[in-house]
Amino acid sequence: MEKIKLTQEQANAIEYALNKTGDYKDDKDRLIRDISRDYVNFHNDLFSLNKIDIAVAAKALYAGYEVIPQYKVGDWITVFYENGNFKYTAKITSVESEFVRVDVNTSRNFPQYLNGYGIVRHATPEEIQQEKKRRFWNGIGRIEDEYKQNDLVEVDYQDYGIINGKTNSGTWMIYHINDDATVFCSSDEIRLIVKAEDRLDK
């Protein structure tokens, strides 16, 4: 059976009940019975159990549970949709009780539910780096790694060069300013500093 998902508050309340209270310590059956009774009101550390569904509580106690990850504004998340066939990475702009909003500007810029439609998780460092790269190139009106003739680029840790063409193998020919020589670099070894059309020395 798949583990049920609980909020951090619900998980804390269950753990507190089973480990630190005299009434429910190591007694899952009694806790379930009281959750099912309308006249039982939980207080303080157990307050969140007042609104938990009895079926959810039973599955959590007897089949196990996972805690829904905690998100905050500024976190990067990756959202999978349409059975995992598509995904995007975005930054959270607001957090509400059951969903988050993100900073993507697509047809799917609607609330992302944390326990419902699609799959939401924290983005990996690689996904964040790739999304920042995509946004950079999109922001200047080019596709990713679209260097052009006479672009000023950073080469070899703060040395600079001018794009002077591309080889058949896909590496860039770059006039290395400090060495007054041509070097060959992959896209991963250079970084755009100034587009050719924006250079003031042209």
pLDDT at 198: 92
Beta bridge pairs of residue 176: 161, 181
Query: Residue 102 falls within a domain, yes or no?
Result: yes
Query: Residue 139 falls within a domain, yes or no?
Result: no
Query: Residue 54 falls within a domain, yes or no?
Result: yes
Query: Residue 170 falls within a domain, yes or no?
Result: yes
157 and 112 both lie in a single domain: no
For the segment 181-194, the average pLDDT, to the nearest whole number, is 93
Query: Residue 99 falls within a domain, yes or no?
Result: yes
Query: Residue 98 falls within a domain, yes or no?
Result: yes
124 and 173 both lie in a single domain: no
The pLDDT tens digits for 65-76 are 888 778 889 999
Considering its fold, how many domains does the chain have in total? 3
Query: Mean pLDDT over all residues of the chain?
Result: 86
The pLDDT tens digits for 116-149 are 455 678 899 999 999 999 999 999 999 999 999 9
Q: The domain containing residue 157 runs over which residues?
A: 152-198
189 and 162 both lie in a single domain: yes
For the segment 110-117, the average pLDDT, to the nearest whole number, is 57
Task: Judge whether 151 and 163 are in contact, CB under 8 Å.
Answer: yes
Higher pLDDT, 156 or 175: 175
pLDDT at 109: 52
Closest CA to 136 of 195, 197, 73, 77: 195
Reduced to 3 states (helix: H, G, I; strand: E, B; else coil), residue 136 is: helix
Which tokens in the block code for residue 133? 């790269």
pLDDT classification of 39: cutoffs 50, 70, 90: confident
pTM metric for this prediction:
0.64
